[in-house]
Structure 1
Amino acid sequence: MSKKNILWLYVFLFATLADIAFILERKEELRFFSKPLILIGLIAYFYQLSKPISGTLLSKSILAGLIFSWLGDVLLLWSDLFTYGLGSFFIAQVCYIIGFKVAQFNPNKLGRVNFVRVFLTNLPIYFFGAFIFYLISPNLGAMKIPVAIYIIAIVSMFTTAKDRFGNCHPASFWQVFIGGALFVISDAIIAMDKYFQTYKDADVLIMGTYTTAQLLIVMGIRTHILHPIKK
C-alpha cells in the first residue's frame, strides 16, 4: 500500500473523528464541513487502489456505491431533503449488490441458484427488516412506500454479502459481511430514532457504525482485488 493511499485513509479517519466530536459538542453547523469529507477520503482511496482493474464492473459498481453514499450523506444534512438522501442511498445499495455479486471467485449464474435454500438461510434477515418496518410504519405517512423499498434494498445488499461465503477470500468475506451488517444496524438506528422513538446519542451510534461499515466494505473489496483467483 503506497503512502499516498494511506494519506487518504487518514483523511477518512480525521473527518470521522471530527464529525463525531461535533455531534458530541452539539455543533451541528460544523458537520457541514466534516461529514462530506468522510467519504471523500474513502472514494479517493478506493479509486487509487482499484486502478489495476479500472473499467471493470467491480470497480465501477463499488465506486458508484461510494459516490452515491457520499451524495446521500450531503443531502441528509438538510432534514427536508431526507427523501432525496434516501434515494441516493437506495442507488448505493443497488451498486453494492452488483459489486458484491461480481466480487466472487465464481459468481453464481441464475440457473445455478438454489432459491429455496437461499430464502431459508436468509429468513432471519428478512424477519429483522420486516420487524423494523412494522415498528416504524405507523409514523411513516407518505414515506411508507419509499422506506419499504429501501429496506428491501439494504436487506438484499446484506444477503448478497452473506452469500459470498465460501466463494471469495475468507478475509474479504468477513470484512464485507461485517460491513454490510453494520450498515444495516446504522440504518435501523436511523429508522427507529426518526420514526419510532428518539435515542440519546443516536447520531454517534449511527455515524460510528456507518463509517466502520463503509471502511470494511472498501477493505473487503481491496482484499478481493489482491486475491482474485481461488487457490
Structure 2
Amino acid sequence: MAKEIVLFVLFSVVHLLAIVTITKEDWMYLPSKIIPIFILIFGLFRFFPSLEKRGKLVAIGLVFSVFGDAFLAIPKEGFFVPGLGSFLIAQLLYAYAFTLDSKVKPILAIPFLIFGSSFFIALSPKLGELTIPVGFYISAICLMGWRAAARNSITKPFYLGLLGALVFILSDSIIAYSMFLNRGMDRSIASLGIMITYYLAQVLIYSATKSEELDVQAVKNT
C-alpha cells in the first residue's frame, strides 16, 4: 500500500475521532478535516508536470475540495454557499476528467437523472433561497456519476472511479438529508456518515487516477 494511502487513513481516523470529541470551534477541527485531502493532493502534485490531463484535473479538483472542506468547517453562518461552490467546481473537474475517454452513452444518464430529479423535488420545499445553488450542485454530482459510468475502459481504475463517484453522491446526499429533510438527526452521527463516505470517495477517485497514471508512465518507459 502506498505511503500516502496509509497516512490518509491514519489522519482520516484522527478527524473522525475529532468529530465525536471536539466541536467546530476548537482550533484542531479544521486542520484535522483537511489534512487527509492535502495528503492526496501531495500524492498527485509531486508529479504534476508529468501527469496526464486527467490526473491534473483530479489534482485541481482535490484543491477545490480543500476549499470546500474549509468553508464548511467554519462555525459561522454564510459559508455554506462558498463551500457548495467550491465542491461544485471540484465535481465539474472530476466529471471532465471522467469524460476524457468516454462516449455519451445517454442511457447511462437515466438512473442519475431519476435520482437527481427525485431528490431535488424532495428537498425543494425546504431549500428556500438555496434552491438554485443546491439544484446546480445536484446536477453536478449526477453529471459526475454519469460520466464515471460512461467511461470506455472497463478496468480496475474504471471500477475504482465509478465507486468513488457513487460514494461521493451518497456523502452529499447525507449532507442534504441531515440539513434539510431531517434536521433533528444527531449531528455527530450525520457528520461521521458524511466524512466516512467523503473520505472513501476521494481516496477511490485518487486511487483510480494514480493507477492510470502509473499505467501510462509504464507504457511510456517501455
Q: Could you tell me the TM-score, scaled by structure 1's length?
A: 0.84
Match of 1:154 in 2: 141
Using the aligned pairs only, state the percent identity.
Answer: 31
Q: Is the 8 A contact 1:132 1:192 kept in 2?
A: no
Q: What amino acid is the match of 1:216?
A: L
Match of 1:132 in 2: 119
Q: Is the 8 A contact 1:61 1:96 kept in 2?
A: yes
Q: 1:155 to 1:184 in 2, by over 3 A?
A: same
Q: What stretches of structure 1 of length at least 5 have no aligned partner?
A: none
Match of 1:36 in 2: 34
Q: Tell me if 1:68 matches 2:53.
A: no
What pairs with 1:76-87 in structure 2 (closer than 5 Å)?
76-78=72-74, 79-87=77-85
Q: Could you tell me the TM-score, scaled by structure 2's length?
A: 0.87
Q: CA deviation at 1:149?
A: 0.6
The correspondence for 1:224, drawn from 195, 212, 222, is 212
Q: Deviations over 1:95-117 (max 9, x none)?
A: 11111122x3xx54xxxx4xxxx
Distance 1:177 1:219 in 2: 11
The correspondence for 2:194, drawn from 206, 213, 223, is 206
Q: Is the 8 A contact 2:55 2:209 kept in 1?
A: no
Distance 2:143 2:111 in 1: 13
Q: What amino acid is the match of 1:97?
A: A
Q: RMSD in angstroms over aligned alpha carbons?
A: 1.9
Q: What stretches of structure 2 of length at least 5 have no aligned partner?
A: none
The correspondence for 1:89, drawn from 87, 90, 107, is 87
Q: Is the 8 A contact 1:42 1:215 kept in 2?
A: yes
What pairs with 1:100-115 in structure 2 (closer than 5 Å)?
100-102=98-100, 104=101, 107-108=102-103, 113=104
Q: CA deviation at 1:26?
A: 4.3
Q: CA deviation at 1:36?
A: 1.8
Q: Is the 8 A contact 2:58 2:94 kept in 1?
A: yes
The correspondence for 1:168, drawn from 153, 169, 183, is 153
Moved over 6 A (4+): none
